[in-house]
Amino acid sequence: MSFNRFFNEWKWTILLLMAIVGTAFFLRFFNLTLLPVFADEAIYIRWSQIMANEATLRFLPLSDGKQPLYMWILMFFVERFSDPLFIGRLLSVVCGIGTLFGIFAVSYILFENKKVFPRVYLADRFVLRSGREELLREIYDKNINLRSTVVVSETLPIQETTSSGSAQILSYTPNKVIIETQTDEPKILVLSDSFYPGWKAKVNDVESKIIRSDHALRGVAVPQGKSRVVFSYDPLSFKIGLFLTAGSILISMLIYLRRGRNVNKA
């Protein structure tokens, strides 16, 4: 993955992290020496001073079961700064921030799934399987390329193609996804989001049926050329619930007003 792609993907996360780290560093930098000296940091600072003056004691921290790396770094600075407490705490802050970035970088390198599919893509082929077990067996078949093939349980209104095409997300919110596609021939657009009742799709402002793709994802047929696809979550249950809630509130208000009139008459 190139640096530009990485930065564009993680831009806001990186900027937010930099703001948090910058604020934390700023607050700690001006309050480093306000707190009293703790026993452990006093030991570390004193040991680093001893280690700096006596080369034979460079592994002194091991006698207490502690790693000497921090004190090896610290002994380089205690000889050059007049306030060992300040430089010791400053080094701790820098090490903490470095650890934060290090954990993020190592986690990203180790756990990044380089084989992950795009959030939205176009499928060239489709495989029809009627039963659930047959469908799942086809999905887990090692010989199938799910990046270009979609497994469905119903006949699709398109033919298999090998032409090129592209798809990109223009807007993504919890209840609405807008996608733009460009294809040379009709294809199946697959959105890597869960297939769930209540979702509706429109292709070029025309309502279209959502295809259950690969058993768990949402798909829709897109025509040749440039298309605009809108997935929106508009379940009937929400409308019924809204109607019942409004009706309950109205009935409660009428009962309250009527009881109020009866009390006044009494």
For residue 64, the model assigns a pLDDT of 76
| Nearest residue to 199 (alpha-carbon basis) of 182, 167, 174, 222 | 174
The 10s digit of each residue's pLDDT in 168-190 is 999 999 899 999 999 988 899 99
Do the beta carbons of residue 83 and residue 33 sit within 8 Å? yes
What is the chain's length?
266
Query: What's the rounded Cα separation, in Å, for the pair 218 and 266?
Result: 63
Q: Which long-range contacts (CB under 8 A, 24 or more apart) does 237-244 make?
A: 237/198, 238/198
For residue 133, the model assigns a pLDDT of 87
| 220 or 143: which leads in pLDDT | 220
Which CATH fold would you assign to the domain 120-237? Immunoglobulin-like (2.60.40)
Domain ranges in the chain? 3-111, 120-237
For residue 177, the model assigns a pLDDT of 94
For residue 265, the model assigns a pLDDT of 58
For residue 264, the model assigns a pLDDT of 57
Mean pLDDT value of segment 203-227: 92
The 10s digit of each residue's pLDDT in 107-140 is 877 787 777 888 999 988 888 888 888 888 888 8
Q: Is the dihedral of CA 108, 105, 8, 21 positive or negative?
A: positive
Which pLDDT band holds residue 230 (cuts at 50, 70, 90)? very high
Instruction: Tokens 């429109």: give the residue.
Output: 202
Q: Identity (one letter) of the amino acid at 203? A: V
For residue 204, the model assigns a pLDDT of 94
| Nearest residue to 218 (alpha-carbon basis) of 228, 206, 233, 204 | 233
* 148: Cα within 13 Å, side-chain hemisphere: 11
Output DSSP code: residue 209: P
The 10s digit of each residue's pLDDT in 132-162 is 888 888 888 888 888 888 898 888 878 877 7
Query: What's the rounded Cα separation, in Å, for the pair 259 and 185?
Result: 67
Could you tell me the two tokens for 215?
A: 């058993």
* Percent of the chain residues topping a pLDDT of 90: 23
For residue 46, the model assigns a pLDDT of 87
| 173 or 3: which leads in pLDDT | 173
For residue 3, the model assigns a pLDDT of 66
* Percent of the chain residues topping a pLDDT of 70: 95
For residue 257, the model assigns a pLDDT of 80
Whether the per-residue pLDDT at 1 is higher than 70: the answer is no
The crossing angle, in degrees rounded to 10, of helices 84-111 and 69-78 is 140
Whether the per-residue pLDDT at 266 is higher than 60: the answer is no
Which pLDDT band holds residue 261 (cuts at 50, 70, 90)? low
Do the beta carbons of residue 214 and residue 241 sit within 8 Å? no
| DSSP string over 131-176 | SHHHHHHHHT-TT--TTTEEEESS--SS------EEEEEEEEETTE
The 10s digit of each residue's pLDDT in 33-77 is 888 888 888 888 888 888 888 888 888 888 777 778 888 888 888
The reported pTM is 0.58
For residue 191, the model assigns a pLDDT of 94
Q: Identity (one letter) of the amino acid at 256? A: Y
For residue 220, the model assigns a pLDDT of 94
| pLDDT, mean over the chain | 84
Q: Which helix (H) or strand (E) holds 123?
A: strand 120-123
For residue 154, the model assigns a pLDDT of 85
